[in-house]
Amino acid sequence: MKMKTKKNLYIIIAILIAAVLCLCACGRETEGTAESGSRINMDTRPGSHLASRLEDFTFTTYDGESLSLYETLQEKDMVLINIWATWCGPCRMEFPYMEEAYEDYKDSVEIFALSCETDDTDEVLEDFAGELGLTFPVGRDSAGLSYTFRVNAIPTSIVIDRFGTICFIEAGSQTSADSFRRLFDAFVGDDYTESVFLSEIPPESAEEETKGGIRIYTLSFKDQDGNPVKDVTVNVCDDTSCTPMTSNSRGIVRFIQPGFTYHIQVVSVPDGYAYDGDDEVYLSAEGGITKFILSKP
């Protein structure tokens, strides 16, 4: 009886997950095989995207319009990139909410709805957009962003602010237009003068903010001469679990989370380097920069 109960629980959990995202295997092209547009050459390791600058890219909508990220940002405050596919139920579910919010914000917000499914031809996309009444640009992920961001669940939403900075990444569908409005509000307006990084969509009410303020945590890895060290693998841990992350080409690991006393475990360093510091380093709940020095004999 206990085994049956546990099995039923797993089934319920699986159904709930499927209701908000598609664990996916999009028909992604491998690196270097994009049909058109520009291939993005970015660090694809987990934890390396937020607060990085996304290179410019172009894509063509199903009706033949060519759009580039940075030309769009000359006119808009932000671009929401949505990675999706026509077969994905949660993707279809959130598009009407996205369209409703877009109608209110289209003077300052652009949406690039990019299908990562190779079978989603221009004709398929045109029929889909027409059926749902979508007025924002819809096309194929010809720049390979699903590869760049290692998208393994759709829909995935990525916010690029007016400075070209990656400020928000989230997998899963939104269930109201207000969710998109709150997301857009964080990046538009004349008072947006520096990049803001979000780990979640801003809460609907002040009461929800009691979960803890969002903090930016930065780990800096350098050798004794001050040179950045990439490919340092760490575990970022709270009291219940650990998440592996790897330093990028600037020797940086950055994550954005509610304020908490996280601790860091240095798991491995590149060949030719050694780490002689503490096995576990505790971070301030206020966020900020924590420096790690590696020796290079």
Burial of 293 (0-12, 13-18, 19+ CB in 10 A): middle
Rounded mean pLDDT, 188-215: 69
What are the C-alpha distances in Å from 47 to residues 30, 43, 149, 219, 233? 21, 10, 10, 11, 11
Rounded mean pLDDT, 133-150: 94
Specify the residue for token string 């509610």.
258
| Among 233, 265, 252, CA closest to 52 | 252
- Classify strands 263-268 and 233-237 as parallel, antiparallel or unpaired: antiparallel
Q: Give the burial string for 119-131 (b: 16+ CB within 10 Å, else e).
A: ebeeeebeebbee
- 59-73 pLDDT per residue, tens: 999 999 999 999 999
- 172-198 pLDDT per residue, tens: 889 999 999 999 998 998 888 888 888
Rounded mean pLDDT, 97-114: 97
Q: Residue 276: what pLDDT? A: 92
Q: Residue 214: what pLDDT? A: 64
Q: Residue 296: CB partners within 8 Å, gap ≥ 6?
A: 223, 224, 225, 272, 273, 274
- Most confident stretch, 15-19, 31-35, 221-225, 245-249: 221-225
Q: Give the burial string for 59-89 (b: 16+ CB within 10 Å, else e).
A: bbbbeeeebebeebbeebbbbbbbbbbbebe
- 107-135 pLDDT per residue, tens: 999 999 999 999 999 999 999 999 999 99
Directed axis angle between helix 177-185 and helix 89-105, to 10°?
A: 50
